[in-house]
Amino acid sequence: MKFKKGTSGNPTGRPPGIPDRRTELRRKLEDRSGELLDTAIEQALEGDSGLMRALLGRVIAPAKPETLPASFTLPHGSLTEQAQAVMVAIASGQLPTSTGSELLSAMAQVAKIREADELESRIERLESAQNDS
């Protein structure tokens, strides 16, 4: 069902021209943002740990884990065997968990690509066999 042009889906809703409450609150906060920030900074410096955490969380970006290069050779064999080797390397501490996770994700993408290639090949063979009949 399409809406009729010029007809409200909620005729008893907010009348035109009345601003949204959130917009009005945001405007009021923006008007006094300098005062609010100064007060928050003062309270944080006086020991309010919640405000301190909130303010510092806005100023300092959260630290991201650093991925260091790791020397690791995947064994020849199936993707399953390679994934098992990655899991063993993570468990033994040879590979960081983040690096191992990235490797496993990449291997999963390779598996999906391989599956798509195999499906395409099977479809082509089936279509060829059908056309030959």
Amino acid at 94: Q
Q: Residue 100 is encoded by which pair of tokens?
A: 């191992």
| Total domains present in the chain | 2
Residue 74 lies in a domain: no
Range of the structural domain that residue 88 is part of: 79-132
Q: Which of 74, 70, 91, 83 is nearest to 111 (CA)?
A: 83
Q: Is residue 13 part of a domain?
A: no
Assess whether 83 and 119 both reside in one domain: yes
Q: Determine, yes or no, domain membership for 70.
A: no
Q: State the pLDDT at residue 110.
A: 94
Mean pLDDT, the chain cut into blocks of 10 residues (133 residues total): 75 80 89 91 92 86 71 87 94 89 94 95 93 82
pTM summary value: 0.47
In a domain, 7, yes or no: no
b/e code 66-98 from CB counts within 10 Å (16+ = b) = eeeeeeeeeeeeeeeebbebbeebbeeeebbee
What pLDDT, on a 0 to 100 scale, did the predictor assign at position 80? 93
Query: Does residue 69 form part of some domain?
Result: no
Are the C-beta atoms of 100 and 90 separated by less than 8 Å? yes
Same domain as 127, residue 91: yes
Domain match, 52 and 94 both: no
Q: Are 44 and 58 in contact (CB under 8 A)?
A: no
